[in-house]
Structures are given as C-alpha cells and as structure tokens.
C-alpha cells in the first residue's frame, strides 16, 4: 500500500469514528456519558454540543478524502484538537468513575494524536495521486 492510500485510509477511519461518536452522543447522551465520558456531572446538552464538533471534524475528514487540498488543513486542525483533548484528559486522568476510564481515554487520545500527526506529515510530504497513479 502506498503512502497516499494510507493517508486516504486514515482519513476514512477517523471520519467514520467522528461520525459514529457524533451519532452516539447526539442520540444517546446518557449512554455516551456512562460508558465513555464519566467525568463530573452529566449534562446532555453539552454532550450533544460536543457531538456537533465531532460531526464537523468528521465532515472535514470525509471531504479531504476526495479533495487533497483539504488534507493538510483538516489534519492539522484535527491533530490540534486531539492534542488539546489529550491534555484535558491528562489533567483529569483520575476524575473518571471508574478510574481506569480516565487512563484509557488519555492514552487512546494520545495515540490517536500521534497517528493524526503522522498522517499530516505524510500528507505534507506526499503528492496525492489519482487512481491511475499520476499526480493530481
């Protein structure tokens, strides 16, 4: 698999995850809070607010699959969001109930941040190709 195909696969994977989270958060904020986000008091409105951010990032990532000029900017914004989200979870690492979720969330977000940074760097270094292999 060439680097451009890996970038596209990464964009698709992160878009699917963002859309899935957005749908889960919007349709079942209590279930999301109970299973993934048990930090502090539950507020369904804020969970649905965050769903809109996930949906927007998912849309940007999905558009970047077909529009190579979107890849670096969308990956940069998404990487920054994941890095900041990771820091927030590090600061509250012991505040989840059960506690293991705080650690799991932090390490999962940090790993995703590294994956996104790799995709962004690869996109910056690799001219995208069309299905026939010619540069776009």
Give the pLDDT band of residue 134 (cuts 50, 70, 90).
very low
Q: Could you tell me the two tokens for 136?
A: 């776009």
Contacts for 19 with CB less than 8 Å, ≥ 6 apart: 54, 55, 58, 62
- Best CA proximity match to 86, nearest among 103, 65, 68: 103
Q: Is residue 135 helix, strand or coil?
A: strand
Give the pLDDT band of residue 89 (cuts 50, 70, 90).
very high
- What residues form DSSP beta bridges with 39? 96
Give the pLDDT band of residue 41 (cuts 50, 70, 90).
confident
User: Is the pLDDT at 34 greater than 50, yes or no?
Assistant: yes
């Amino acid at each position: 698999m060439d680097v451009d195909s890996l970038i596209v696969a990464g964009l698709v994977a992160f878009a699917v995850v963002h859309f899935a989270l957005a749908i889960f958060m919007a349709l079942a904020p209590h279930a999301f809070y109970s299973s993934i986000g048990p930090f502090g008091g539950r507020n369904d409105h804020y969970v649905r607010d965050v769903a809109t951010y996930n949906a927007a990032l998912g849309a940007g990532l999905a558009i970047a699959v077909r529009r190579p000029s979107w890849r670096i900017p969308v990956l940069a914004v998404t990487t920054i969001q994941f890095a900041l989200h990771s820091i927030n979870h590090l600061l509250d690492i012991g505040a989840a109930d059960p506690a293991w979720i705080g650690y799991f969330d932090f390490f999962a977000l940090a790993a995703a941040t590294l994956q996104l940074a790799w995709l962004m760097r690869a996109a910056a270094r690799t001219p995208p190709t069309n299905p026939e292999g010619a540069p776009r």
